[in-house]
Every structure is written in structure tokens, then in C-alpha cells.
Copies of this chain bind each other. A is one copy, B any other.
Amino acid sequence: MSIESTIVQMAEAARASSFEIAKLSSAKKNQALYNIAEILDKEASFIKNENNKDLILAKEKNLPGAMIDRLTISDVTIKSMADGLREVASLEDPVGAIRGKKIRPNGLEVSRMRIPLGVIGIIYESRPNVTVDAAGLCLKAGNAVVLRGGSEALNSNRALTDLTGKALLKAGLPEAVVQLVPVRERAAINILLNQHELIDLIIPRGGEGLIRFVAQNSKIPVLKHYKGVCHVYVDEGADLETAKNICFNSKVQRPGVCNAMETMLVHKSVAKEFLPAVEKLFSDAGVEIRGCGETCRILANAKKAQEEDWPAEYLDLILAVKVVPDMSGAMEHIKKYGSNHTETIVTSDYKRGRRFVREVDSSVVLVNASTRFNDGFQLGLGAEIGISTSKLHAFGPMGLEELTTTKFIVLGDGQIRE
């Protein structure tokens, strides 16, 4: 069978199964999640054996160490996947919730009912745990899912989805609710992105290259962020101890992720006091500073920032630093170079805090808190399938609710239009 007909058949099966799962009770869906968790725990050796096949191939191909790390499934990874599923089972089911109920003057009762989106395609890179995490969230929200993981993880992903399929059948759900594209060829992605009659949403997860490829080639709506160029702005009159903690945490606590700070903006009136104080912390942690002219005058050891540093997503222990004349200058910089992802102001001023919150056009805007809080778990969504920096449907971290939509329900007693 050609790759195209394989994928079309999968998408058709996913569509058909989506109508089944949309009708299921929360209890049924939770049972399926518990079953998957159980089989993962029980079949840990099988999973690790299959994963080992991928690891051998990866080493033969001399893939970089960081990639091999991400590809590796350990007992800890398996436990964390299984526990994650049990946690998703414990979350409230968004499907069926009613909101905005009102009675119209003619007596019609109008409300919105939350319903699944239908079929979701997830396109991702090497971490095989995404296979289970994403499948669990889609399933809980009543959707079918078509997974396309990295070719280097095919054996691992196949093992995980084969086990998932068995667990689904045992819970009385159609196996087609969770499917893996079983081919290594990249052409499979283009074919998948063409199934706009069968797939409702695509979520790409991985590097900027993969995400741009998906966005440019998809005929299906895509929820994504390309990168996180996150800023902390230290305002005039800010508590500098607080500012130091927030900047340090935003940069250093986990530098390789999208919600880490990449550029620090400092009001000119506090730069001379703040920059040397925070430089000490950063240099102890091995952070390289690339500063504007004023920053370099204050910090003798700072490198000079180039134009390309301002829009850079380093994902590393490097920080761009700019001294700004005022808050408007900081906001102009964010508008020009930011990625609509996450921005923090550290301030003691009520009015400027409010203005920053209102006017900064980012998916998460914070006052006096670390950028690292842009995360579905940290913000109380209970889960996270990704972060969107485009504004349609979802803006910011996406939890279970963002995997659903609403339809209008109208209950009448024979009403007609006059």
C-alpha cells in the first residue's frame, strides 16, 4: 500500500472512531487511561527493548548526545508516562459542560455545550514520551489522535502505541482512537497535512524548523509557537532583590525551554545599581551577557550585543541585556523583537504594572513573577499539550479545554421566527 493510502485510511479510521469517543462517558475514558498506564507499567521491558533498537540505530548514525538522551526511555520515563495518564484521568472532563445559558424573550433556552474537536494530528520530534502524553490528553478531551513522531523513534513509538491499542480495546474503545503513522519517510507529513476533510487540528511540537515546515504546508489549522523570545523588564523603582531573583530564575532555572528569559530590559535609572549586582549571580552560573552600549559601559566584562541578538532564542546560558530610557522604550523593544510568548515586568508602580498588563501583546503577561510560569501546570490548567502564540482558538498554554470547542444548544417549545 502506498504511503498516501496508508495515511488516508488512518485518517478515515480516526474520523470514524472520533464519533464513538465523542459520545463516551468520562468513566469510560478514564478507564481507558488507567488501562494504558497499567500496560505501560507491566510491559516496561518490552518498551525498553524496542527503545534499544532505536538507540542502536541512533548511535550507528552518530546522532548527537543530546538527541540520544531525549530518545532514551528509562524506568523513570515509563513511570512518569504512566503516572501522567493517571493524573489526566483525575482531571475534570471538559466535554458536556454547559456555559452561558440564558432564556431569550421568546422563551428559547440558549446555551453552549463543550464538545471534542474531532481528530487531532500531533507532529513531533524525538521524545517518545510525547506519544503517550499527547494521546492521553486528546483521548480525555474526547478526540481521536493521529501521531507522527520522529523517524529515529519509530520502534519506541510503535511499541507505545501498540500497547495503547491493546489497552483501548480492553476498555471497549476503538483502537483507531490512537494511531501512529508507521512510516519513516518525511513525505508522510505532507500527506497528513493535506487531510483537511478528516483532521480538525494539527499541533506540531519540536524545533522551529519543524514547526515552520508544518505551518507552511498545512491545509489544516495549526496551533503552534515558533519560538519564545521572552523578556523581563526591570522598572524604575523596582525592588531590586525581587528583580534579581526573578531574572535569575527566568534565565537559569531551565535555560533550554521556550519560557526562559532571552533578553533582560533595565530602566536606565536602576541600571548602575542593578546590573553589577545581577552580573555576579549570572557569571557564577556561567551565563554570558551580550549587552547594549550602555550595558557594556556599566559591565566591563559584557560582550557587545549585535542586532541579531535581540530577536535570538538562545535556549542556552546566554542573555541579551538592554538599558531602556523608560517603560515605553521597553514595550517598543518587546513589540519589535518579541515573539508574543511571555513577558514580565518587575515593578512597584501600580499604574505601570496595569499598563504593562493591558498593552503587552503576549500570550502570558506577568507582574513580579518568573517567565518560567508560562506552563499549563503552573497556571492551573492541569495539563499542557503545547503553547500557542497565534491568537485564533488558543493563545498561551493549551490544556484540555483548548482541545475542545462549543456548539449551541437551543431548547424550545415550538418557537418559530416571525
Contact = CB atoms under 8 A, between A and B. Distances in A.
Nearest to A362: B407
Task: Count the copies.
Answer: 2
Interface string A185-201: 00000000000000011
A156 interface: no
A253 B417 contact: yes
Nearest to A359: B23
Interface stretch (A1-9, A264-272, A370-378): A370-378
A108 B407 contact: no
A160 to B, nearest CB: 28
A337 interface: no
Contact of A246 (B118, B249, B363, B416): B416
Interface string A373-389: 11000111000000000
A380 B201 CA distance: 29
A405 B391 contact: yes
B393 A393 contact: yes
Interface string A104-118: 100010100101011
B23 A374 contact: no
Interface in A338-375: 353, 357-359, 361-370, 372-374
Contacts of A246: 414, 416
Contact of A19 (B200, B335, B363): B335
B117 A410 contact: no
A410 B406 CA distance: 26
Q: Which among A242, A369, A412 has the greatest number of chain B C-beta atoms within 10 A? A: A369
A405 to B, nearest CB: 4
Contacts of A113: 357-358
Contact of A391 (B102, B117, B248): B117
A94 interface: no
**Nearest 3 pairs between A and B by C-beta?**
A369-B412, A249-B416, A372-B417
12 contacts: A104-B379, A110-B379, A115-B361, A117-B391, A118-B391, A239-B414, A242-B414, A357-B411, A369-B412, A369-B413, A373-B410, A396-B408
